[in-house]
Structures are given as structure tokens and as C-alpha cells.
Chain A
Amino acid sequence: MSELNGLTIAAARDALRKGEITSTELTEACLNAIDAADALNAFVHKTPEIARARAAAADQRIKAGDAPAMCGIPVGIKDLFCTKGVASQAGSRILEGFRPEYESTVSQQLADAGAVMLGKLNMDEFAMGSSNETSCYGNAVNPWRRGNDDAALTPGGSSGGSASAVAADLCLAATGTDTGGSIRQPAAFTGITGIKPTYGRCSRWGIVAFASSLDQAGPMTKDVRDAAIMLEAMCGHDPKDSTSADLAVPDFEAALTGDIRGKKIGIPREYRMDGMPDEIEKLWTDGTAMLKDAGAEIVDISLPHTKYALPAYYVVAPAEASSNLARYDGVRYGHRAKLAQGDGITEMYEKTRAEGFGHEVQRRVMIGTYVLSAGFYDAYYNRARKVRALIKRDFELVFGDGIDAILTPATPSAAFGLGEMADADPIAMYLNDVFTVTVNLAGLPGIAVPAGLDRQGLPLGLQLIGRPWEEGDLLNHAYVLERAAGFVSKPTKWW
């Protein structure tokens, strides 16, 4: 057997249940890998004591024969999740020193299932970014490199630390969150699997809010089976989140039959962008052929409002963020600016937020404030919400015509170099989400699956989009694609 930290959840679960390994051994292997990987800057708050205690408890539970699938599995938790007594900063200076008195529902469910928390993972500040370059902890680094070039590449964002940690085998899996592509884009950039479930599948309680109508948590894993196992442990109804759906959680792993014969796969023509790299185009064509070979019917479809998704997103998300981030005022938690003689409460707010928020967060809060302000609310915010309704209707129409899943590229390029986009305008960075953001606006489940390497040896991903609440069927399509693509490459260890 290779090193324990390189195992999938499914393989580790089976070995744990057979008594071939213990969670303590598995956890130590991960802790060692984490300590040797500081160059990746993926884990920003390590919790070895918690990990060892939970591993010991999991071993007891496994011995007693009471072991859910996630029992004893070491995972990383994105810094956006509040974890009791453990720093939870959302990658921001403004939450420096914040130690929640409570645990997010999703991380609590994982803990209840016996999962072992190894620590907190790097991310873009308040999940606002596509390269992990807006983090107060500094950049997370992609374990993949371009051939022999040692230039540091982005692991994507906002769940960049999660992606880097899973791809580098520092943990078996990690939690992520996805507001416009923050699970799927980093998964594609690092050659791993990431699923954003239907809006309302996972409780948002205890996850630092960015844009409440778009945010969803999901797993980032080494393969599709692991995504099914971990998603099942993460989702379910939560009375503490009024938008969490009161629906039974299916057995997602059981949905992986590998049979998609007769299913209808939509190929949306609007996702064929001008200037799309040949390699992305080819990947998409190859993926289409793989699903066809597996017995699915390929259908050309139209989602006519696709090109308006990004501008609509960049109205709706900042608007919600400006409201959600109003709570960071230096009163109840986190950073408070040092005040000058005579400063009142307004100066306290303004200085605290200027010092605590990074540049991108400030810009988005101000954009959101502007589009919600008197005189502009109808022109920007209400118009964007109407366009959002049309984007959702596009999907409803094709699903109504019998389409089971939609295949698209996950990202418009492979991972780019850290710092390469520094001089680009913000819109160029926003284009990273061009294929993923429609899914959040429509509340649908979407999954990124690694499907090949580019000429430089970097992973590329494809995205499948499913019907609402049909994550099981979506995962099964992804499973077929994964098996056909046969992606097994791993980054060469340099860290």
C-alpha cells in the first residue's frame, strides 16, 4: 500500500473497517504530510491535538462496530466554517483572533460522523476571489507545476487551500464552499473532484456568509465516489438555516451504477466562447464522446442568457455581501482600529473596516452599496434579479425537454501563475467563473471532474450540471465520465 495519506475515503473506510489500519495511523500520516508542506500554505491553522483526540475516538467507535462511512477519515476544513474554539477568519484580517463559541452545522455533522479535523484551510478573503491571492494568510500554492518550470501556480479560489491540500494528499478530503465557482474552479485547477450541491442541500449555518442566496458548501475529494460519500455526511435539513431544504438525503454512493444508457446530455452552444483555447475545446469534445460511448444521447441545447450571468452575478453577489459584511464593525468580534482622540463611533467603523478588509473585499462591498443605494436599486439590483430569473428559466426549459445533465468545460484555462493577473482589471479575473456562475444563479448542482492534462502537464476539468435535488444522478454521470477519462495523474512532489 502507498502512503496512507494518499488513500481515498472509500479505500480508507474499507481498510479501517477491516482493521487493516487505524484512524490514528492515518491521521499521523496526514499530520506529517501537512508539516512537510508548509510551502503550499494550504493549512493555515493546524489542529493536531483535536485530530489525535478525534482519531482515537474514531478507532474506539470502529472497534465497537459503530462506524459511519466518514468515521476516522482525516479532513481539512475551509477557514470559512466556524469551528468551536479554533480560529475561523474567512481569510480576513478583520476576523483576526476570532474563536467561535459554536460549530457550523456542516462541520458538526462531519464530526458527528466521526471525521477527523486536521485544521483550517487557506482561502480568498470572505471567499471573494478566483486565485487565493486575496487571503490575509498569503497565497496558497498549487502542487502542480508546468513541466520543469518552478513558477508557483494558483490552486484557484476561493477554496484554494482545500484544493491544494487534497491534490497534495495532505488530507483525504476537504470542505469547500461555492458562491460562483469556488469549489469547481479550484478542483479543476488541481486535478481533483468538487461538487456544489443544489442550493439548500447543505446548511449554511455557521459558515461565514458572503452572498446568502448563492453560497453552498460541498466536498472536495480525490474522486467521484468520495464526493458521494462525503456529500451525504454534509447535507441534510437544519432548522437553524431557514433556506435548508427539508428533504430526505439519498444514498449518493448507491447511485453510482455506472449506467447512463439512454440519458440525455445537453451541450450548450453558448458555452463555446470566442477565443477559447483549443485544448479546452478538445477536452469538451472528448468528454462528449465519452458520454456518448457510454450510451447517452447527446443533444445540442441553447441557454440563451448565459452571457449575462457574470454581470448579473457581479450585481447580486456584491449587493448581498455589502449587507452581510455590515456586521464587521469592530464591536462584537475581530479587529477594532486604534482610535484617535475625539474619534466617535463612525470613525471607529470606517477605520476598522478600512484596516480589516482587503482591497477586493472593499471594492465589492462598495459596489454592492452602490447598486443598492437610492436611485440605482431598480437600474442595477432589480434588473439583475430579473435576469437571474431568466437564467434559471433557461435551465428549466432544457430540463423540461428531458435533458438529464449538461456538459461544459469547468474553467476557461488551466491554472495560471500566482501574480500573473495582478495588473489585469478585475473583470479579467471574474471571467474565471464564466462556466460555473450560471449554476449558482440557478441554484443547481454542479460537479467538476478532472478529465485530462494540457500541453504543459496541468490538469483540466469538465463540469456536469444536474437537475435540482438530483445529485445522485449527477454523481453517476460524473462517475461514468471519470472512469472513461481515466485521469490518474498526480503532481510531482517538489514541496
Chain B
Amino acid sequence: MSITEAEARKVAHLARIAVKEEDLSALAGELSAVLAFMEELNEVDVEGIEPMTSVTPMRLKRREDVVTDGGIQKQILSNAPDAREGFFAVPKVVE
């Protein structure tokens, strides 16, 4: 299966990675090569096989639904590129 430039543009946008127009053709080629490699999986008979969700059969642990942590606003914000007045700051989202 071959990826077109338009599909490469779409997947780059879905992944939120800016790709220059002139690089789209090379990207489409690379993605196509990797997908072609994956086509080998079509040889396998997977009739009736459940897709694996967890490699070890284990039941996830549960705990009481209570607050166990918090009150660390300063630490949470300490690595932010832009933090103001106790919040993460980003460009305007809603007009």
C-alpha cells in the first residue's frame, strides 16, 4: 500500500508535526516503505485469534477512590515553558 502526498500531509497533521510541502514526497516514500514491510502480516491466518491486550494475564489492581496526592502546584509548573499566575499559559485557544 502506497501513501500519497495528500495522505502524508494528513497523517503529519494528525500527529501534530509540521512538515514542509517540499518534504512531503520523501515522507510519503518512507511511510510507504515501512507500511509495505507490515504487509507481511497479511500472510498470517488470524481467524478466531483475540488481539492481545496484556502480555501477562493479570487483573489490574484497584484502590479506594480517594485523593492520595496533590498540593504540589509549584512542582507541577516548575518545568513549564510559560507558566503564569499558577497556570500553564498557551496561545489564545477560544476567540
Where the two chains meet, the residues of A that have a C-beta atom closer than 8 Å to any C-beta of B are 97-101, 198-200, 213, 239, 242-243, 245-246, 305, 307-308, 310-312, 314-315, 322, 326, 329-336, 339, 343-351, 353-354, 357, 362-363, 365-371, 373, 380, 382-390, 392, 425-427, 430, 441-443, 468
Contact = CB atoms under 8 A, between A and B. Distances in A.
Contacts of A101: 72, 75-76, 78-79
B67 interface: no
Contact of B31 (A99, A344, A367, A382): A367
Contact of B33 (A311, A335, A365, A427): A427
Contacts of B40: 307-308, 311
Interface in B5-20: 8, 11-19
B38 A350 contact: no
A349 B16 contact: yes
A84 to B, nearest CB: 10
Contact of B56 (A245, A344, A369, A425): A245
B78 A369 contact: no
21 contacts: A101-B72, A101-B78, A239-B61, A311-B40, A314-B34, A315-B41, A333-B80, A345-B91, A345-B92, A347-B18, A347-B91, A348-B91, A366-B12, A369-B15, A383-B42, A383-B44, A383-B46, A386-B51, A389-B52, A426-B33, A427-B34
B11 A468 contact: no
Given A367-B35, A386-B50, 15 more contacts: A245-B56, A246-B61, A308-B44, A310-B37, A333-B80, A344-B91, A345-B93, A350-B17, A353-B17, A354-B19, A365-B15, A366-B8, A370-B11, A426-B33, A427-B37
B51 to A, nearest CB: 3
B79 A334 contact: yes
Given A308-B44, A311-B37, A336 B81 contact: yes
B17 A200 contact: no
A368 B11 CA distance: 10
Q: Give the dominant DSSP class at B's interface.
A: loop
Contacts of A213: 54-55
A373 B11 contact: yes
Contacts of A353: 15-18
B34 to A, nearest CB: 5
A353 B8 CA distance: 16
A350 B16 contact: yes
Contacts of A354: 17-19
A123 to B, nearest CB: 20
Contacts of A198: 56
B80 A311 contact: no
A467 B81 CA distance: 46
A198 B56 CA distance: 9
B38 A311 contact: yes
In order of increasing CB-CB distance, the 3 nearest A-B pairs are A443-B55, A385-B51, A336-B81
B22 interface: no
A388 B52 contact: yes
B83 to A, nearest CB: 9
B3, B34, B79: most-surrounded residue (chain A CB, <10 A): B34
B51 A331 contact: no
A334 B79 CA distance: 7
Contacts of B11: 366, 369-370, 373
Contacts of B15: 322, 353, 362, 365-366, 368-369
Nearest to A351: B18
Nearest to A371: B38
Interface string B39-67: 11111101001111111101011010000
Nearest to A198: B56
B79 A370 contact: no
B16 A333 contact: no
A332 B79 contact: yes
A380 B34 CA distance: 12
B58 A343 contact: no
Given A311-B37, A345-B90, A334 B81 contact: yes
A383 B41 contact: yes
Contacts of B50: 386, 389
Given A335-B81, A345-B93, A348-B90, A389 B34 contact: no
A307 B45 CA distance: 14
Contacts of A385: 51-53
A384 B41 contact: yes
A421 to B, nearest CB: 15
